[in-house]
Structure 1
């Protein structure tokens, strides 16, 4: 394997939502990693078909580009070595960087297109969204219609329910898969279990309970919430589930497809007004709008506030960060409008893709299938403390990921998983609705923009998308 690692600042790895920031720190006190070291990767391929078709790829090179977030490089280094061992004669040339989109963009423009791309959720570089607009990604539907390597079940039936059908994987809403899911991370409101136990706080179900808890927290010296002010897309783990609960999951699909009126329904306005109230009502940690992701996360971990919209990768990302004594990660659902409403859990999904102009697309497809093997799933859990977006992955990862990561998946017992991603924008469109949703949050929180103005800005954006598409 040949590997090139960018030395760009690690601080650049997480713009936008950082939903792909994962982690590589396995801190479980109950995990016997020495045992895992002896078992992961030794199953080899006697039970699968890898060896049978290895010859057709002999002497070929696979060029891959990997976003290096909080999951680190160890998993990728080892899975590449295992792939080369399983397919003798294949050489993998890997570029891995926290800014991989910026690294490979000029290469792609110059015609040096990678065979395989691993990108974080909500890619801040805009590379993947650009490739989608240009129809520059390969159709992967045949891979998911076909069997896995060590499980003959079609891959589409092995993936967590509800992911492949979304715009995250089908950006053109045409039934064809162009983006393959990587890991699956629950998102919501991260909190300190220890603090809640010490203060006898109850987790809020409704918005009324949420603000009542905030009032109590103020008396006790805590703010209710913070977020990464300069990376406001983090708030998606609060916004989209709350809107799904209030307006219905079908309306969320309308929002993802820029349907006019979907973002400003009466129930949606209640949610937007509640989010605005966090700031204007004095529930937001002072100075939040100027904080980056690590600063806001540290403030929350030091018990300056009760909640931060985030995902289970935060444990890994902040492994070495200061925290209050006894801090224990918890993850809770976004509030619902009224008791009895269905709660939803935003699920972050990082993605694999194969460029349409890849030199070795069939080898890239085989690598994708290889990544979905049990061996790969366990290795990812052990080396990166992460869980693949496969139905069996959570149990396969038990004992290999930290207790915190594993236990935060319990949020799915309290809410229904949902995946959100905006559909591909039409050619010539000059607006980016996702930016219009989140980039104004500072103004909303400080009262410079009302909830109504926020909704209207997004609706205007939807209208321009619709007009461009005509």
Structure 2
């Protein structure tokens, strides 16, 4: 951790207080304090004067320290926004990494965090815990500031519905800004289906029949990121919601007793288990990471992969030009489903945070205000082939195949858009525990009933853990 005047015991205490180290008994981050008010005390640089051109009062002489996650969206959109920021404010130091926690934990503990963090990836820090431990700047000043494009319109009024809510954890305060608007679902190649005269399956019987046809041609039905099984819920959660309605997912999010034993969960687990039992999952999938599974998919080795709309950019190097990348809504069970075909999981993702101890918190929020301009939002979509959280930013844009598909799927879904929260309210439960159970289910190593019991056991354990802050849907 380098030279420091803080001894190791103090560092451990401060790390625990910041919610950055795991609790040994559960492997989860403790979370019990209330959130702060966003006041950075004497930690920050002296602010600048608030004006029409500088509504957040950024000190124009202060530099900005920005750490961006170098993942599926790359970093160019951040570099481009930095150039705009530097036209009016100080120099931006941009650091790209895939090791968010490893790089930033010492700085968060030491009271010297960056001014802005793209808190994403496998090493994502736990945002609810950071908020609960008073480690984040509250972002209402940003949301209530005038937008870059229209001074008469607040930033909050330019965003897709649900964006602000994704940054809230149990109250009205907003602790993070989720920049990308991700469409999750069954990603596929339009060309592969068209070349074989295959129709996209709407019911599970149609899914199994299609997988059987594909298997005869040496093509698997599904693959997924076996090393990161929390990708499986990108289709499984909306499948449960389609079968049982929004309440089925809300029960899971709310850690209700027997939520994982609902009929909708039973039906969904049995359906996914059948994919493995019938040999419709690409051989070797449990050992593949996200890049390897995506590469097998773009090579035409399988029909479907559960993923989010970042995949078009992330898999660009291996995707044939005529692939026709597209996302489809989850295949349903049958006519008894509570929600119609077309139901989607779509929500704001890729969370950006401004640490409470940031030296230039106002600059961090101003950088986000620039990113939320139409110019930056369109640039993001052009570069990474994904929607941003800025509503209407892609209007008139010449969109790639996957981006156009995601935009249309979102439009077609109408009000049937699901917004599960387990993954960000309880990331350890979602990623490590539920993920491990789903890995066993999809590999055919555990039966649906046993998987349901194990998921419920993990959920009950979280519900009873007083060190984990609890959240509820309204």
TM-score of the superposition, structure 2-length normalised?
A: 0.79
Asked whether the 8 Å contact 2:223–2:302 carries over to 1, the reply is: yes
Quote how far apart the aligned CAs of 1:425 are: 6.4
Sort the Cα spacing of 1:423 and 1:141 in 2 relative to 1 into closer, same or farther, 3 A.
Answer: farther
Does 2:190 match 1:188? no
Paired residue for 2:32?
none
- How many angstroms does 1:53 deviate by? 4.7
1:351, distance to aligned residue in structure 2 (A):
1.1
Match of 1:205 in 2: 202
Indicate whether 1:137 and 2:159 are aligned.
Answer: no
Which residues of structure 2 form unaligned runs of 5+? 1-50, 468-474
Q: Which residue is equivalent to 1:66?
A: 68
Counterpart residue number, 1:299: 296
Mark the CA change 1:105 to 1:389 in structure 2 (over 3 Å): closer, same or farther. same
SS of 1:452's partner is helix
Aligned to 1:263, the other structure's residue is in SS state helix
The two structures, once aligned, show a CA RMSD in angstroms of 2.6
Alpha-carbon distance in structure 2 between the residues aligned to 1:247 and 1:102: 40
Q: 1:125 to 1:313 in 2, by over 3 A?
A: closer
Partner of 2:329: 333
Give aligned pairs, total.
410
CA deviations 1:110-156 (Å, max 9, x no partner) are 22111111122x65344546524534222223432443232333333
Q: CA deviation at 1:373?
A: 1.0
Q: Give distance in 2, aligned partners of 1:468 and 1:294.
A: 35
1:148 has 2:147 as partner: yes
Alpha-carbon distance between aligned partners in 1 of 2:402 and 2:429, rounded to the nearest angstrom: 35
**Aligned 8 A contact 2:102 2:123 in 1:** no
Give the match for residue 35 of structure 1: none
Alpha carbons 1:280, 1:447 under 8 Å: kept: yes
Q: Is the 8 A contact 2:437 2:455 kept in 1?
A: no
Following TM superposition, by how much is the alpha carbon of 1:175 offset from its aligned partner in structure 2, in angstroms? Answer: 2.4
Residue deviations 1:292-324, cap 9 Å, x none?
22221122222221111112322221222165x
- Flag the 1:163–1:208 CA change in 2: closer, same or farther, 3 A: farther
Deviation at 1:56, TM superposition (A): 5.1
CA contact (8 A) 1:61 1:93 kept: yes
Q: Distance in 2 between matches of 1:289 and 1:440?
A: 12
- Aligned partner of residue 184 in structure 1, secondary structure: strand
Give the conservation status (yes or no) of the 8 Å contact 1:226–1:288: yes
Is the counterpart of residue 408 in structure 1 residue 406 in structure 2? yes
| In 1, Cα distance between equivalents of 2:104 and 2:250 | 32
Match of 2:27 in 1: none
1:421 CA displacement: 2.8
1:461 aligns with 2:463: no
Matches within 5 A, 1:357-372: 357-372=357-372
Question: 1:239: Cα distance to partner?
Answer: 0.9
Aligned to 1:27: none
C-alpha distance in structure 2 between counterparts of 1:135 and 1:458, whole Å: 31
Name the SS of the counterpart of 2:405 in structure 1.
helix
CA contact (8 A) 1:148 1:373 kept: yes
How many Å apart are 1:67 and its aligned residue?
Answer: 0.7
- 8 Å Cα contact 1:132-1:424 kept in structure 2: no
Give the C-alpha shift of residue 414 in structure 1.
4.2
Specify the alignment match of 2:471 in structure 1: none
Q: Secondary structure at the match of 1:58?
A: coil
User: 3-state SS of the aligned residue for 2:422?
Assistant: coil
Alpha carbons of 1:253 and 1:358: their partners in 2 closer, same or farther (altered >3 Å)? Answer: farther
Q: Deviations over 1:241-272 (max 9, x none)?
A: 11111122133233223222222211221011
- Greater CA deviation, 225-234 or 385-394? 385-394
Deviation at 1:469, TM superposition (A): 3.2
CA distance in 2, matches of 1:225, 1:85: 48
In the alignment, what sits opposite 1:277? 274
Equivalent residues of 1:230, 1:289 under 8 A apart: yes
Superposed, 1:359-438 pairs within 5 Å as: 359-395=359-395, 398-399=397-398, 401-415=399-413, 416-422=416-422, 432-438=429-435
Q: Residue 80 of structure 2 corresponds to which residue in structure 1?
A: 78
Classify 1:312/1:110 alpha carbon distance in 2 versus 1 (closer, same or farther; 3 Å). Answer: same
> Which residue does 1:176 correspond to in 2?
173
Q: Please identify, of 214-223 and 192-201, the stretch whose mean Cα deviation from structure 2 is larger.
A: 214-223
**Per-residue deviation at 1:55?**
7.2
Q: Answer whether contact 1:62 1:93 (CA < 8 A) is retained.
A: yes
SS of alignment partner, residue 318 of structure 2: coil
Deviations 1:371-410 (A, max 9, x none): 21112112323444443112112216x12x5343233322
Structure 2: how far apart are the matches of 1:155 and 1:56? 17
Distance 1:208 1:259, change over 3 A: same
Q: Are residues 254 and 357 of structure 1, via their aligned partners in 2, closer, same or farther at CA, if it must alter by over 3 Å? A: farther
Structure 1's 211 and 55: CA in aligned 2 closer, same or farther, altered over 3 A?
closer
Question: Is this contact kept in 1: 2:119–2:351, CA < 8 A?
Answer: yes
The two structures have a TM-score, normalised by structure 1, of 0.80
Which SS does the other structure have where 2:261 is aligned?
Answer: coil
Q: Matched residue of 1:202: which SS?
A: coil
The answer to whether the aligner puts 1:109 opposite 2:78 as a matched pair is no
